[in-house]
Amino acid sequence: MQISARNLIPGTVKEITIGMVSAEVIITIAPGVEVASVITKSSVERMGLKKGDTINAMIKASSVMVAKD
């Protein structure tokens, strides 16, 4: 698969919570550091995602929110 996204973060699927239409995928990117993603249920099924899979989180620069503590 070719993609133009440059913000790829490798990680491991920690947990998948599937709803009626969408699913939340928790990705561990470093010890104690996680990223949560909401994708469609059909995407989880099509990719065959399961706990422990090694994946890449693709983050669109236009969709990243920044906050200061």
Per DSSP, the three-state class of 41 is helix
Q: What is the predicted pLDDT for the residue at 67?
A: 82
pLDDT in tens, 18-59: 999 999 999 999 999 999 999 999 999 999 999 999 999 988
Contact 41, 19 (CB under 8 A): yes
Domains of the chain by residue range: 8-59
Contact 38, 23 (CB under 8 A): yes
Give CATH for domain 8-59.
Answer: 2.40.50.100
Q: What residues have CB less than 8 Å from 1, skipping those under 6 apart?
A: none
pTM: 0.84
Q: What is the predicted pLDDT for the residue at 11?
A: 96
Per DSSP, the three-state class of 59 is coil
pLDDT confidence bin for 1, thresholds 50/70/90: low
Rg of the chain (C-alpha set): 13
Token reading at 63: 């969709």
